[in-house]
Chain A
Amino acid sequence: MTITDVQAQVEEIAQTMVILEPSDRAAMVKVGEQLLELTGHLRESGFVEAAALTENAATVASAHPEQGDVPAAVIATVNQALEVLQEMLDQETPADLPVDLQLGAPVGAMPPAAETMAGDQAAGSDEAAAVPLLRPEGLTLSPLVDDQIIAEFLSRQSDSIGDMEKLVLSCEQQQDAAPIEALRRWFHTLKGESGLLGLSDLATICHATEDMMQAEPTSQCVDRLLAVTDWLQTCFAYLMDRGPLPADAASILALLASPPAPAVPAAPPAQTPDAAAERAPEDVVDEVVEDVVDDVAEAAAADATGRTDDNDGVEVDIEAGAGELPDYSSKYVLDGDVGLLQDFIGESREHLDASEAHLLTLESDPGETEALNAVFRAFHTIKGLAGFAELDHIQQLAHRAENLLDNVRRGELDLCGQVMDLVFESVDVMKRLVEGVMTALAGSGYPQLEPQLPGLLARLHAVTSGQPLPATPLLRPAAAPQVAVSPAPAQLRQPAPAASEPEPETPAPPSATTLAGKTGFVPLSNFKRRSDGDAASPAHPAAPAPVATQPAATAPVFEPESEEAGAPAAGAPSRGGGKASGVKVKEAMRVDAERLDRLINTIGELVIAESMVSQSPEVRSQMTVKLARDLDHLDKISRELQEIGMSLRMMPVRPVFQKMARLARDLAKKTNRQIEFVMTGEDTELDKNVVDKIGDPLVHMVRNAIDHGLEASAAERRAAGKPEIGRVELRAFHKGGNICIEIQDDGRGLPRDKILAKAIERGLVREGDVLTDRDIHNLIFEPGFSTAAKVTDISGRGVGMDVVRRNIEELRGTCEIHSEPGRGSTFSIKLPLTLAIIEGMVIRCGTEHYIVPTLSVVRLVRPVASDISLVFDRGEMLAFEEEYLPLFRLGRLFNVSTAKADPTDAVVVVVEDEGSKIGLLADDLLGQQSIVIKSLGEAMQNTEGVAGGAIMSNGNVALILDVAGLIRAAQNASTVLRHTEELPMTTAEA
């Protein structure tokens, strides 16, 4: 059969098609048959590509539904196929068409024109030449296809893809054959059409999807189907110039071929039996994927020579598109056990926070082996958990960090300098990865992949295997040549040794380069190489990678480094695999805060009701031994209940403090200051809301303390006669019914004059205004107020303190500044205890009961007459431990007419605040108890001397004394003294 004959036949089919009515299914079937026949002829004549085309067109033609009209899409597809075919035949260049209709068939060599166009198209995508199959040629429209056809195809597909998603979802809900059939047809049609248009990637994916649907019950592969539809959507958007380049087809292929863990195919079955068990049966996996798996097996087997630790084989990252694939998050959410992942997040956070604390310990005391072991264990646990939760990228990072720490443990490395930084960075990156998992879990999509990860992994490995980091002089250069880091599979990509890789400054755009780099699809490049001969010259890997709109050329390229590079002996020995079957998972539950509050309030009511019953005279009069015992029991239970209730909302401030310690360390490094960061009171408990909100202000305050507070250099400090190492102290404690958080530095102190000058310049104060130190200090809370000469990336914009004030005001707290020039500043945040529990002493004054926070109480004394002396005949003084304290009668301060007048018959509560002590004269001490502080509400919260209220066992409210306020009131307000004058000095006793 000659070309002419074929042409005639094509012409004939084309004519049939032109007059074909959608209702005429028989005609369509005939066309299909004709096309098949034509395929045979073409194949005989050696027009392989054309044959493939017609074969596919035939498939499309016969794929329409059994009933109803022939879909317009089918007709259009066949028409397109015929047009292309005619053009091909006209040109008599049958072998040059880039039609890749068969899965497993390698991408055909591109005709020159197509190559150029592919190049142009790829320009925006910056595809890495290193992974030839990933070049968007698979997404490059055939130059032979008319623009209009493409436009029509795209608009049609992007419309129908939404319907497809619905179908997929309906497959999940019901085992109905109809949607499955419809899906299959859709994919089949799409395969044919995209094949015609030269979109080989699309065709490949569709084919693989079809295979998958055939091999597995559809309900089981819904996730993957959704992944495919998402990917297709991205593709269409990309082709319409409306979106970024989609993830490379290979990642989807891998996803399709490996049900539960898409990236695991990279892990050779022999080395990760668990993963292999979860993988789809081999017979399902189509040709290419088999190749993929084989290649990976080879590569990894080669990689893992001499290694026993199973994780090391998993060099191909889980993040195969994790960052860029929109569907990946759904994979996490749907595939992984959500509970497991949540546990993982919770536990990992705890471990990371703990390790940060330990690392800080280690930094100051490198000999602290227990801390080192703790960090090591933390990473080990995370590794295990991550393995369990199928979070391979986290697992991998944990593993690398663990290896590094193991070397440290064995004394082969010193945990200092860069090694320390590296470990810190690992903790940081790990934290972000865990956050990422959480974001994915929350359903808001998988976040941008941590761009530092590949570089970090590489550096971790480099250090572990004894290679020096770039900045350090080559200490042991001969031990491990850096070239060894790039094993065979990596030769196709930039042969940049991991160690010399620059750390990316900005997150790389989601281009295919990054993707390819991160995913490290070694097997695919291998496959490409093998099947396609010298498609891409390994010598010029970056050459065809066009750089255009995206600066992705500098994107990090993950070196799929193999473990034998470097010193394998230095690696960690097997630790019984990474599975965390033995890890105890902590149970946690999210509860609506409002319900919690209601519970706590109700418990409070119960306790009060209980005591009202047991104290009631009626019950008392009937008291028997048994009743007394039962009441005791009831009392015990209700108290326990109350304690539990109270503890529910409370959490220690420790996590926030630890963050600050970390921040301080980083800032010190960044600003080249030597600081000593001391924390006290990390166990102070605060309401969870407060803990959550206090972080931001603290960040700014710590920054300020370090960047502004401390002197810029050790020399300056020396000159000021201070120790070279600056000291910043972070404290939390209860004080008078408040929780105080203080940040103290021993730096320069606030520059009073500078602040004043700036305030005058900004018109905040007028020249000549008389301002107290306090007024001046408070000026720094003004928005935009900064005396910094220049804005650094740490501070200087004058935003920080504004944030501090706002957040603290939101928590209804106050912030005060004490500063001494040259001596340093103290910022104290005082937070009200909306729900905090304090220990309080209940005192009586006349008929009224008050509570003094036990923490403010220094001592209780029953004074003798000689202890008390008068000043000016009205101010009373108490001799107390060789000092004279001002003595204030609570009854007079608070106008309690029934209070005892004779001090020797009363009790003096010596209270202290900020170093100043006073004596408070009360009638009696009634006892001590834990109390929940309740706000007195908007109207009363400013009442001086009263910090809040507490509900006592009789249901009444007792007021909690604000000791600081009382001292202030007592000391400053002469009104109080004058007031007492007016009262008769001797009142009748109550």
Chain B
Amino acid sequence: MSTDTLKATMAKPGKYLSFVLGREEYGVEILKVQEIIGIMEVTRVPRTPSYVRGVINLRGRVIPVVDLRSKFKMPVIENTEKTCVIVVQVAQEDLTVTMGVIVDEVSEVLSFTQEQIEPAPNFGGGMDEVEFITGMGKLGKKVLILLDVDRVLKCEELAEIAQAAQ
């Protein structure tokens, strides 16, 4: 799997929801976001990849939640008051799936123009997560890592890993 083929498409200008993971700030397309909820009791689902925290009850619906820190192989921390679940609608093949992503903190909604978006840096091998990055959004001194959330939360992969975990 070469990094080139996996590289996500270039981020489009528009509004992004920014959130914090550790000391880094990330952005997801606002159109993908359904809502933001505070962290709640998550039911662990056995035999799933470790980054799948489990499932939650979203007003009568059961949706899976993914721990983004774990997904990006960052150290997992305890939930804080600021820990949030961003509920996103991700496109999976021909259907839309509702999922939650656990992030440290949600900050704000930012607009980026074409000029403010730069392609993702190339780290070479050894960092597969680069494929999730669609670009870097620059606003003054702030740099946002723009994510392709569809790719981050690809169900197939979840399923595959789930199978492999067995």
Distance of A939 Cα from B66 Cα, bound (Å): 11
**Top 10 A-B residue pairs of the complex, sorted by shortest distance between their CB atoms:** A894-B46, A601-B60, A949-B62, A957-B43, A939-B155, A934-B62, A939-B158, A604-B60, A938-B155, A938-B97
Q: Give B160's nearest chain A residue, CB to CB.
A: A942
A955 B41 Cβ-Cβ under 8 A: yes
Q: Give A952's nearest chain B residue, CB to CB.
A: B57
Residue-wise interface mask of A (952-990) relative to B, using a CB-CB cutoff of 8 A (1 in contact, 0 not): 000111110000000001000101000000000000000
Distance of A605 Cα from B58 Cα, bound (Å): 10
Verify if B83 is at the interface (C-beta below 8 Å from A). no
Verify if B47 is at the interface (C-beta below 8 Å from A). yes
B59 A605 Cβ-Cβ under 8 A: yes
Chain A hits for B43, CB < 8 A: 848, 949, 956-959
Distance of A829 Cα from B47 Cα, bound (Å): 25
From residue 49 to 67 of chain B, which have CB atoms closer than 8 A to chain A? 52, 54-57, 59-64
Distance of A384 Cα from B45 Cα, bound (Å): 58
How far apart are A507's CB and chain B's nearest CB, in angstroms? 39
Verify if A935 is at the interface (C-beta below 8 Å from B). yes
Verify if A374 is at the interface (C-beta below 8 Å from B). no
Q: Give B54's nearest chain A residue, CB to CB.
A: A957
Q: Which residues of A contact B (CB under 8 A)?
A: 600-602, 604-605, 608, 848, 893-896, 934-940, 942-946, 948-949, 951, 955-959, 969, 973, 975
- Known contacts A934-B62, A955-B57, A956-B41: does B47 contact A939 (CB below 8 Å)? no
Distance of A600 Cα from B162 Cα, bound (Å): 31
How far apart are A606's CB and chain B's nearest CB, in angstroms? 10
How far apart are A588's CB and chain B's nearest CB, in angstroms? 26
Distance of A882 Cα from B52 Cα, bound (Å): 42
What are 17 A-to-B residue pairs whose CB atoms are below 8 Å?
Answer: A601-B60, A605-B59, A893-B46, A895-B46, A937-B55, A937-B98, A937-B99, A939-B155, A940-B162, A942-B163, A943-B45, A943-B48, A946-B46, A946-B47, A958-B43, A959-B46, A975-B166
Distance of A38 Cα from B47 Cα, bound (Å): 102
- Known contacts A943-B48, A955-B41, A957-B55: does B60 contact A936 (CB below 8 Å)? no
Chain A hits for B153, CB < 8 A: 939
Chain B hits for A604, CB < 8 A: 60
Q: Count A-B contacts at CB 8 Å.
A: 93
Interface hub of A602, A938, A944, A959 (most chain B Cβ within 10 A):
A938
- Known contacts A605-B60, A935-B62, A955-B41: does B55 contact A940 (CB below 8 Å)? yes
Chain B hits for A959, CB < 8 A: 43, 45-46, 55
Q: Give A597's nearest chain B residue, CB to CB.
A: B60
Chain A hits for B54, CB < 8 A: 957
Contact of A940 among B41, B45, B57, B166 (CB under 8 A): B45
Q: Give A935's nearest chain B residue, CB to CB.
A: B62
A943 B57 Cβ-Cβ under 8 A: no
Chain B hits for A942, CB < 8 A: 159, 162-163
Distance of A943 Cα from B54 Cα, bound (Å): 12
Verify if B95 is at the interface (C-beta below 8 Å from A). yes
A939 B159 Cβ-Cβ under 8 A: yes
Verify if B82 is at the interface (C-beta below 8 Å from A). no
Q: Which residues of B contact A (CB under 8 A)?
A: 40-41, 43-48, 52, 54-57, 59-64, 92, 95, 97-99, 153, 155, 158-159, 162-163, 166
Contact of B59 among A601, A944, A975 (CB under 8 A): A601
Chain A hits for B155, CB < 8 A: 938-939
B55 A949 Cβ-Cβ under 8 A: yes
Interface hub of A893, A894, A937 (most chain B Cβ within 10 A):
A937
Chain A hits for B162, CB < 8 A: 940, 942-944
Distance of A893 Cα from B162 Cα, bound (Å): 14
- Known contacts A894-B46, A938-B97, A957-B43: does B57 contact A973 (CB below 8 Å)? no
B158 A940 Cβ-Cβ under 8 A: yes
How far apart are A599's CB and chain B's nearest CB, in angstroms? 11
B95 A938 Cβ-Cβ under 8 A: yes
Q: Give B159's nearest chain A residue, CB to CB.
A: A942
How far apart are A871's CB and chain B's nearest CB, in angstroms? 22
Chain B hits for A945, CB < 8 A: 46-47
Distance of A605 Cα from B59 Cα, bound (Å): 7
A937 B60 Cβ-Cβ under 8 A: no
Contact of B52 among A600, A940, A957 (CB under 8 A): A940
A956 B45 Cβ-Cβ under 8 A: no
Interface hub of A934, A939, A946, A948 (most chain B Cβ within 10 A):
A939
How far apart are A962's CB and chain B's nearest CB, in angstroms? 11
Distance of A602 Cα from B60 Cα, bound (Å): 8
Distance of A894 Cα from B57 Cα, bound (Å): 21
Q: Give A890's nearest chain B residue, CB to CB.
A: B46
- Known contacts A955-B41, A955-B57, A956-B57: does B46 contact A939 (CB below 8 Å)? no
Distance of A944 Cα from B165 Cα, bound (Å): 10
Q: In the complex, given contacts A937-B63, A938-B155, A940-B158, what are 7 additional A-B residue pairs having Cβ atoms less than 8 angstroms apart?
A: A605-B59, A936-B64, A937-B62, A939-B64, A940-B64, A956-B57, A959-B55
A934 B64 Cβ-Cβ under 8 A: no
How far apart are A938's CB and chain B's nearest CB, in angstroms? 5
A940 B48 Cβ-Cβ under 8 A: yes
A943 B47 Cβ-Cβ under 8 A: yes
Interface hub of B41, B57, B59, B153 (most chain A Cβ within 10 A):
B57
B62 A957 Cβ-Cβ under 8 A: yes
Distance of A410 Cα from B163 Cα, bound (Å): 67
Chain A hits for B99, CB < 8 A: 937, 939
B55 A936 Cβ-Cβ under 8 A: yes
Q: Give A847's nearest chain B residue, CB to CB.
A: B44
Q: Give A602's nearest chain B residue, CB to CB.
A: B60
Chain B hits for A934, CB < 8 A: 60-62
A946 B45 Cβ-Cβ under 8 A: yes
A937 B41 Cβ-Cβ under 8 A: no
Interface hub of A605, A894, A959, A969 (most chain B Cβ within 10 A):
A959
How far apart are A396's CB and chain B's nearest CB, in angstroms? 50
Distance of A735 Cα from B54 Cα, bound (Å): 25
- Known contacts A955-B41, A969-B166: does B47 contact A938 (CB below 8 Å)? no
